[in-house]
């Protein structure tokens, strides 16, 4: 919604200001200039990126359009799932827990958290490190280093969509000049025409420069920034898992371990201590109460 509002405000101010200055909006409508600029941008984007990144840009734009950033409820679900897993580790045998980790889609614990089951990468991250905890041989600092490396790798992969759009945005002003030069070449071929026609052709050529700068700074750069914001927020989920499990490995009880994870969440989305306790300790976050509901 904010994207639409922002674009409406931007277009309204740009076109409204142009009309107020005495300009004619029809002059700006030069579809073939836009075809040159956006088509060249699309071509260079395809040349510069592998197919996985191109597809991921589509996924990222969908996430931005639907605002698929994790919210308070999503973090509560993750913390509640971890709480139940840690509680089971303390009370059940290693063999019992391995059945939950090896087949999470058949686990009674994970069954209470369908959102996590629907997020394969997040589910794998949880299961992998719970498995390492169950093995009991790895040291806490070794697990932390491994988590940091994995999170860093995932973050680099997730930000490729942002970086590719930034590259497109950076190239758009230059491609606008290309379109403008082509328009000037066309105008030079009409020097024998009346000044009115020649002026129209030169004005149409300059639209290319305007369009390249406008698309760069008013469309693609804001979209790239939104992708970065959404992806960074989604990576925050892994930091919550990391801090929670590390605290548990260092001897914290589940109630304290999830508090370590809660502190990593941004203030805007962080649940209160009371909300977390209600959601994990006998509240809506417990496995039993979820099954009953």
Residue with tokens 């328009």: 183
- What is residue 194's predicted lDDT score, i.e. its pLDDT? 85
Q: CA-to-CA distance for 69 and 233, rounded, in angstroms? A: 6
- Does residue 291 lie in a domain region? yes
Distance of CA 249 to the CA centre of its chain: 30
pLDDT tens for the 293 residues of the chain, in order: 688 898 899 989 988 998 898 888 888 888 999 999 999 999 999 999 999 999 999 999 999 999 999 999 999 999 999 999 999 998 888 888 888 999 999 999 999 999 999 999 999 999 999 999 888 777 889 999 999 999 999 999 999 999 999 999 999 999 999 999 998 988 888 877 888 888 888 888 899 999 999 999 999 999 999 999 999 999 999 999 999 999 999 999 999 999 999 999 999 899 998 888 888 765 444 433 343 33
Does 151 fall in a domain?
yes
CA 104 centroid distance within chain: 26
Extract the tokens encoding 52. 């996985």
Cα separation of 72 and 276, whole Å? 10
Residue 282 confidence (pLDDT): 56
How much is the pLDDT for 199? 83
**Count: domains in the chain:** 1
Distance (Å, whole) CA 188 – CA 244: 68
Q: Which domain holds residue 209?
A: 30-293
82, 241 Cβ separation under 8 angstroms = yes
**The pair of three-digit structure tokens given for residue 144, joined into one six-digit string:** 């932390």
Please report the pLDDT score of residue 202 as a whole number: 87
**In-domain check, residue 182:** yes
User: In the block, which residue shows the tokens 């919550």?
Assistant: 240
pLDDT score for 201:
85
Element (H, E) at 141: helix 140-158
Q: Is residue 221 part of a domain?
A: yes
How many residues can be counted in the chain? 293
Q: State the angle between helix axes of 195-214 and 160-188 in degrees (0 to 180), rounded to the nearest 10.
A: 170
**For residues 220 and 45, what is the distance between their CA atoms, to the nearest angstrom?**
12
Q: Does some domain include residue 22?
A: no
As given in the structure block, the two tokens for residue 64 are 């931005």
Locus of tokens 């969509």:
161
């Amino acid at each position: 919604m904010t994207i639409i509002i922002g674009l409406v405000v931007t277009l309204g101010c740009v076109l409204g200001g142009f009309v107020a200055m005495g300009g004619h909006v029809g002059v700006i409508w030069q579809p073939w200039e836009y075809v040159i600029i956006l088509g060249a941008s699309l071509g260079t984007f395809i040349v510069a990126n592998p197919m996985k990144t191109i597809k991921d840009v589509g996924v990222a734009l969908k996430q931005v359009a639907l605002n698929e950033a994790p919210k308070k409820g999503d973090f509560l679900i993750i913390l509640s799932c971890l709480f139940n897993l840690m509680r089971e580790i303390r009370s059940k045998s290693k063999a019992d827990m391995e059945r939950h980790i090896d087949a999470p889609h058949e686990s009674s614990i994970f069954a209470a958290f369908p959102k996590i089951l629907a997020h394969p990468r997040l589910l794998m991250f949880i299961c992998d490190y719970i498995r390492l905890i169950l093995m009991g041989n790895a040291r806490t600092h070794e697990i932390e280093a491994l988590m940091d490396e994995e999170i860093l790798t995932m973050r680099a992969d997730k930000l490729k969509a942002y970086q590719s759009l930034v590259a497109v945005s950076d190239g758009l002003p230059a491609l606008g000049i290309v379109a403008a030069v082509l328009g000037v070449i066309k105008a030079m071929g009409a020097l024998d025409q009346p000044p009115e026609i020649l002026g129209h052709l030169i004005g149409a050529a300059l639209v290319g420069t305007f369009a390249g700068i406008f698309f760069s700074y008013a469309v693609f750069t804001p979209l790239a920034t939104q992708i970065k914001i959404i992806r960074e927020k989604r990576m925050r989920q892994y930091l919550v898992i990391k801090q929670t499990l590390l605290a548990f490995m260092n001897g914290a009880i589940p109630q304290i371990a999830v508090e370590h994870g809660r502190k990593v969440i941004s203030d805007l989305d962080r649940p209160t201590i009371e909300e977390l306790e209600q959601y994990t300790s006998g509240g809506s976050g417990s496995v039993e109460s979820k099954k009953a509901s």
